[in-house]
Amino acid sequence: MIRTYKATGINLKSMPIGESDRVLTVLTREFGLIRAVAPGVRKPRSTIGGRSELFVVNELLIAKGRSLDKITQAETVQSHPGLSRNLGKLASAQYLAELAIASALSDEPQEELFCLLSEHLSRLERLSDRTDTDSLALLVAHLDQGIFHLLALAGVAPQVQVCCATRRPLTPNFSDPNWQIGFSIPSGGTFSLSELANLEIERSPATGSFSGSASRSPQTSGSKHLTNFYINANELNALQQLASPELAAGGKDDRAAWVSVENILRQYAQYHLGCAIRSGSSIDAYLESFEF
């Protein structure tokens, strides 16, 4: 007798297999992360072909298999067509999907992660498709907040409100253009400069130092990671906004800070989740295409 089960899930990853099938990685409310074959979905007349697209939410009937489960029925509950119509939104959504895959559990309910990811995908979809600098900055700001919220849910978000060593609050000093604090990836967040002196400061081979304006070059397993470095007042201010449920009005104002924060969080997530965020290079290429 074939065992079947029902689940509501969002498609996060798709890979072709065989002549006409796909293997879907799906985040479900009830069972966490599952991998299942969607048979025949690459055929032109497939009845569930569109339901296997990325970021579509389906009510699924799934048959248990020895190695891979098999999707036998799918009824779409929600889709995010606006994400695929804009490369920046699509890359941002794929970025968040990678983080969700890295942090999700299998065979356990993941209701909170499912709802959080769905909310941030909806926020990305509602953003303007314009490519002016303010719109691009708002896109990166929303991506940053999505990254931070997912890290927080996984229990590994960086501390950005206080010094990790002294627990004293840190307040950006905008009146001093040279004001800085320290940030340590392995040690979990922000440090006053006096406390950062107790940590090893790694120097960038390209510039000799890291001042907070992070390079957009994605980190890879073979590259030299910057683990301790300085961030400025605007970057700390941006980081401190991210834990809030919503971004503050005017959150797009400091464009350079949001881009720098994305790079910081990318390195941080890769270190603490143990994964390479491949969509980061797509974000880099998208922003660079507009000289952003």
Q: Where are the domains of the chain?
A: 4-79, 81-292
pTM for the full predicted model: 0.90
Give yes or no for residue 144 having a pLDDT over 60.
yes
What gap in Å lies between CA 30 and CA 112, rounded to an integer? 11
Segment 254-261 shows an average pLDDT of 93
| Per-residue pLDDT, 221 | 35
**Of the listed ranges 78-87, 101-110, 246-255, the one predicted with least confidence:** 246-255
Contact 261, 144 (CB under 8 A): yes
| Per-residue pLDDT, 111 | 98
How does residue 252 score in pLDDT terms, banded at 50, 70 and 90?
Answer: low
- Which CATH code, of 1.20.1440.120, 1.10.1200.10, 3.40.50.620, 3.40.50.2300, is assigned to 81-292? 1.20.1440.120
| Per-residue pLDDT, 226 | 67
| Per-residue pLDDT, 223 | 38
pLDDT tens-digit series, residues 209-225? 344 444 333 333 333 45
Segment 156-183 shows an average pLDDT of 97
Domain 4-79 has CATH 2.40.50.140: yes
What percent of the chain clears pLDDT 90, i.e. is strictly above it? 80
CB atoms within 10 A of CB 115: 12
Segment 28-34 shows an average pLDDT of 98
Contact 151, 100 (CB under 8 A): no
**Of the listed ranges 16-25, 117-126, 141-150, 151-160, the one predicted with least confidence:** 16-25
